[in-house]
Chain A
Amino acid sequence: MNLNQKAKALNLGCCPCCQKVNEMTERKQRCSRCHHQFSQRKPYSLQYTFAWTLAAIVMFIPANIYPMMVFYTLGRPEKSTILEGIASFIQQGHYPIAFIIFLASFIIPLGKIIGLLILLYNTKSYSRISKKKQTQMYHLIASLGPWSMLDVFVVAVMAAVVNFGFFTSIEAGAGITYFTLMVIFTIFAAESFDPRLLWDIERRNTNDR
Chain B
Amino acid sequence: MNHLNDINTLIACKHCDTVANSPTLTAGESALCPCCGYTLFSRKVDPVNRTLAVSLAGLLLLIPTVTLPIIGVGVAGKYNDATLIDCIMLMINADFYIIAFSVFLFTIAIPSVRIFSAFYLSYRIKTKQLSTSLLTFYRSYHLFDSWTMIHVFFLGVIVSMYKLISLDELIVGSGLVSMLLLLFCSTLISITLDQKLIWDLLEHELEPKS
Contact = CB atoms under 8 A, between A and B. Distances in A.
A7 interface: yes
Contact of A16 (B7, B14, B102): B14
A202 to B, nearest CB: 10
B87 A160 contact: yes
A125 interface: no
Interface in A149-166: 149-154, 156-164
Interface string A79-114: 000000000000000100100110000000000000
B142 A161 contact: no
Contacts of A151: 156
Interface residues of B, number: 71
Nearest to B136: A35
Contacts, number: 207
A150 B152 contact: yes
A14 B38 CA distance: 15
B37 A150 contact: no
Nearest to B101: A180
Interface of A: 1, 3-8, 10, 12-14, 16-23, 33-36, 94, 97, 100-101, 131-132, 135, 138-139, 142, 145-147, 149-154, 156-164, 167-168, 171-172, 176-177, 180-181, 184, 187, 190-191, 195-196, 198-200
Interface of B: 1, 3-4, 7, 10-21, 34-38, 40-41, 70-73, 75-76, 78, 80-82, 86-88, 90-91, 94, 96, 98-99, 102-103, 106-107, 135, 138-139, 142, 146-149, 151-153, 155-157, 159-160, 162-164, 167, 195-196, 199, 202-203
